[in-house]
Amino acid sequence: MKAAIHQLQYWPGLRFFSKMRSADVFVYLDDVQFEKREFQNRNRIRVADGWRYLTAPVLSKGRFSQKILSAELDGSRRWRESHLLAIRTSYGRARFFRDYLPALESIYSARYRFLGELAEATISFLRAALGITTPVRRSSEFSLSSVSTRRLVDLCGAVGADEYLSGAGARGYLDAALFRNAGIKLAWQDFKVVPYGQAFPGFEPDMSALDLLMNRGPDSAGYL
């Protein structure tokens, strides 16, 4: 059985979902440290002059060791309204915007206290729209104390996987010997973004998967 593991993200990109679809089980890495200026609480959408971030504000002052699942959103800011307006502005004329607008309005009308809840809401919407049925688990289910590569190996063992699918960017720091010694095959994702028509002229890669969905609708799965 092939496992893939990835940190929770807000509106993840195509590599995230390609890896999810290619796995037999996908583990949300939700009990690791929240890192500012990473993709845990932000992602990119297309705009007329390129792209912009949608960033969910997280309370971080004095909370240096908080986990992704328990990182608290800043409820004093009107980010929900701002993000929905940004999506409307960017994709209002996209071919499939109206098809998915009710679901987007539902996501942004809900109240989330923690980043983990919000991230999972966006992931669940996208994976369903992309037709991905891979079972998902959360790393917090297993209460593991290991870190780095050892943690990934232990999570594979916890879900009964004998193969681990890693993003190519991890080649520089994963300890392949730990997988080999545990009898787990280490496989590398080979994914290249195929250009598609976006809401504005030109093509910007590495957008949130939301961008693909707004423009390609039911055909989006073919780009994974």
Q: What is the largest CA-CA distance in the chain?
A: 53
The 10s digit of each residue's pLDDT in 25-47 is: 999 999 999 998 889 999 999 99
The 10s digit of each residue's pLDDT in 59-110 is: 987 777 899 999 999 999 999 999 999 999 999 999 999 999 999 999 999 9
The 10s digit of each residue's pLDDT in 159-188 is: 999 999 999 888 888 999 999 999 999 999
Residues 6+ apart with CB under 8 A from 210: 11, 45, 87, 122, 126
Q: Does the structure show a pLDDT above 90 at 148?
A: yes
Give the residue carrying structure tokens 């993840």. Answer: 12
Average pLDDT (5-18) is 97
- This prediction has a pTM of 0.95
Q: How far apart are CA 214 and CA 221, in angstroms?
A: 12
Q: How far apart are CA 24 and CA 115, in angstroms?
A: 26
Q: Can you spell out the DSSP letters for 148-176?
A: HHHHHHHHHHHHT-SEEEE-GGGGGT--H
Residue 146 tokens, joined: 């290991």
Contact 164, 156 (CB under 8 A): yes
CA distances from 178 to 78, 164, 182 (A): 45, 12, 6
The predicted pLDDT at position 63 comes to 76
Residue 206, phi-psi category: left (phi > 0), alpha (psi -120 to 50), beta (remainder): left
The predicted pLDDT at position 37 comes to 82
The 10s digit of each residue's pLDDT in 119-141 is: 999 999 999 999 999 999 999 99
Nearest CA to 118 among 18, 4, 34, 174? 34
Q: Residues of 143-162 as b/e, b for ≥16 C-beta within 10 angstroms?
A: ebeeeebebbbbbbbbbebe
Contact 126, 17 (CB under 8 A): yes
pLDDT, the chain, mean = 95
42: β partners: 55
